[in-house]
Amino acid sequence: MHEYERKQLLERVGREAATVGATIPDTIEIDGESLDLSAFVFETRRQETVPPDQRERVEAVKTKLRRERNRRVERLETDALNYDEGETLAESIVGIDRALGALEDLEPADVEAERQTAKTADRKRWMRFLQNALGQDGESGDRRARGGP
Let me know whether 41 and 75 are in one domain: yes
Is 120 found in the same domain as 82?
no
Q: Give dist(CA 46, CA 143) in Å, integer.
A: 53
pTM confidence score: 0.65
- Pairwise pLDDT comparison (51 vs 110), residue with the higher score: 51
- pLDDT (tens digit per residue) in 27-52: 888 888 888 888 888 888 777 677 77
Domain total for the chain?
2
The percentage of residues in the chain with a pLDDT greater than 90, rounded to a whole number, is: 18
Q: Is the pLDDT of residue 145 over 50?
A: no
- Its domain, for residue 23, covers 3-109
Do 95 and 57 have their domain in common?
yes
Task: Mark whether 81 and 43 lie in a shared domain.
Answer: yes
Are 38 and 72 members of one domain?
A: yes
Q: Measured between alpha carbons, how far is 29 from 36 in angstroms, rounded to an integer?
A: 9
Question: Quick one: 97 and 143 in the same domain?
Answer: no
